[in-house]
Each structure stands twice: as structure tokens, then as C-alpha cells.
Amino acid sequence: MSTPGEITALLHAWSEDSTASTDALFELVYPDLRRIAGALFRRERPENLLQPTCVVNELFLKLLRQRSLRFEDREHFYCLCAQLMRRVLLDHARSEGRKKRDGGVSVPLHENMLWIDDNPVDAIDLDRVIHELERIDPRKCRMLEIRFFLGFTADEAAELLHVSTASVNRDMRFVRTWLKDRLKAG
């Protein structure tokens, strides 16, 4: 991953509408985001037309359209990236015109998060339960997005969220159980 100070400095310059900083920022974070998107697609069906590069490109387009955004630091940036990746996947699932539980678009789970079950999770169901979690506990939701959609390790998530690794692991145990129950109940 890129260094925190470097990203934060570029984010502040980007917020001040510096085109050069935008290019430098995207060049710096693109490899990380592409790697993360690639991890999301490792278990995806081969016939899926959406590819990791498309997800990252769509993410950048969404960020560029929101020029009024002011990023506090890299935590803020990566949390927004996780939310936007989730939206890209959800928009793709919806655009496919598939109905819930009727051949819907599955969401591949990060290799360290194969804890729901062996079956792919429908993107619309997952989005629904993530919104429920956000209402209950926004911090746990952010942590889930960072671990699940960005593929950060527990140590990376702890650093980014300014909490201990033990807190991340404890939160993940709760989130795993909660999501598993909510997805089965849904």
C-alpha cells in the first residue's frame, strides 16, 4: 500500500482542484485498487462481463464527477472507495435485470472472508444487510467495507480506522455472525 502522508497530501491538493495532483493520486492508488478489485473477482463466474479494471475505472469516474468532495485523509478516501466499489457491483447486478434469487449476480467473497457459506451471495441481498448494519453500527459497517470490498488485512484496517487489530478482529467476529444470520433470514 502507498504511504499515508503521500496520499493525504495528494488528496488535499486534489480537493483544491489541482489537476496534477489528481493524476498523481490516481497513479499512486490505482495499482492498490486494481489489486483489490481483482481479488473481488477471483471466484466470479467466467461469463461475468464486469471486470476488475471496469470497476476501478467506474470508481474513478464517480470520484471525478464529485469534484466538490473534500477528503480529510486516506481513511476517508479508502472508505469512500469501498462504498463506491460496492455501488458499482450493485449497479451492475441491477442493470443485468435479474430478479432476486433467480440467477442474480453473485458477489465473490474475498479469500479471507469465505465465512458466509460456499454459495455465492446475491449482490442485492448483501447490499440490503450492509445497509442494516450501517444503521446499527456505522463503524462496523466501514470496517466490513474496508475488509470485504477493499480486501485490507486486519492490520491494514486497524491502521486505517485508528483502532487496534484486536478491535478489528472482534468486530469481524460479530459482523460474520450477524451477516450470516441476516443473509439466511432474508
Residue 65 burial (C-beta neighbours within 10 Å; 0-12, 13-18, 19+): exposed
| Three-state secondary-structure class, residue 1 | coil
First-to-last C-alpha distance (Å) of the chain? 36
Q: For the chain, list the strands marked E by DSSP.
A: 106-107, 121-122
Which residues span the domain enclosing 11? 4-185
pLDDT at 96: 64
pLDDT at 110: 44
Q: pLDDT tens string for the chain (186 positions)?
A: 556 688 888 888 877 776 778 888 888 888 888 887 777 666 555 555 667 788 888 888 888 777 677 777 888 888 888 888 878 877 776 776 554 444 444 444 444 443 344 445 567 778 888 889 999 999 899 888 888 777 788 998 898 888 999 999 999 999 888 888 888 876
Q: Quote helix, strand, coil % in the chain, to nearest 5.
A: 70, 0, 30
pLDDT at 152: 84
Q: Is the pTM of this model over 0.75?
A: no
Grid cell 432474508 — which residue?
186
pLDDT at 69: 74
Residue 126 has which C-alpha cell? 448483501
Looking at the structure of the chain, the number of domains it has is 1
| Three-state secondary-structure class, residue 120 | coil
Residue 19 has which C-alpha cell? 489537476
